[in-house]
Amino acid sequence: MLRSSLAVALLLALAAPLAAQPVVPAADAQCRPDAALIRTAGDTALSFQIEVADTPESRAQGLMFRSDLPAGQGMLFVYSEPQPVSFWMRNTLIPLDLIFFDETGVIRHIHRNARPLDETPIPGAAVGDPRPDRLMVLEIAGGEAARLGLTTGQQLAHPALDRTTAAWPCR
């Protein structure tokens, strides 16, 4: 009896992080300024509760000095036009995954598990990428991109994307 109770407790503990990440049918996904939607396998989308950093000041501050970033949350950096971008982890106390999007909202590059306090530049494009300009960057907790199966080519829906050019436009 004790063994089965421990097994159930372990399964619940392992499943808890998955439950923290809202998964919605892609057709039902609602665009909101405080949510980043990423279409995964066909009919499903992941929804991240986000803060938006769309001014030079908010982008410079980013997630500095935060001691925690729960699963399902993040910060979306939005630029006024596509451009080469580079990040660092100065004063950032937690590991992060950085997900770089082009002007259509397609994931072009993922930098996994950026090290806290590391000032080494993190480029927004992989070496040899013929289209290195980025319009948005999503920062989520380190390890979440792998756990959730995020890959290049997946699509973002967010009101800051131009509906006429977005790969997955908001409805």
Query: pLDDT-derived band of residue 28, with 50, 70 and 90 as boundaries?
Result: confident
| Closest C-alpha among 163, 135, 138, 124 to residue 49 | 138
Q: Would you say the C-alpha torsion 55, 110, 142, 105 has a positive or negative sign?
A: positive
* Span 88-140, pLDDT tens digits: 999 999 999 999 999 999 999 999 999 999 999 999 999 999 999 999 999 99
Query: What is the helix (H) or strand (E) element at residue 16, kind and residue range?
Result: helix 2-19
Helices and strands in the chain: count of H runs, count of E runs: 3, 10
Length of the chain (residues): 171
Q: Is residue 116 part of a domain?
A: yes
CATH number, domain with residue 106: 2.60.120.1140
Query: pLDDT-derived band of residue 74, with 50, 70 and 90 as boundaries?
Result: very high
Q: Is residue 9 part of a domain?
A: no
β-bridge pairing 122-123 and 96-101 = unpaired
pLDDT of residue 16: 41
β-bridge pairing 73-83 and 44-53 = parallel
pLDDT of residue 9: 37
Q: Is residue 11 part of a domain?
A: no
Domain that holds residue 46: 22-157
Instruction: Measure the CA–CA gap between 103 and 14, rounded to whole angstroms.
Output: 36
Q: Is residue 89 part of a domain?
A: yes
Task: Record the pTM.
Answer: 0.87
Query: What is the helix (H) or strand (E) element at residue 6, kind and residue range?
Result: helix 2-19
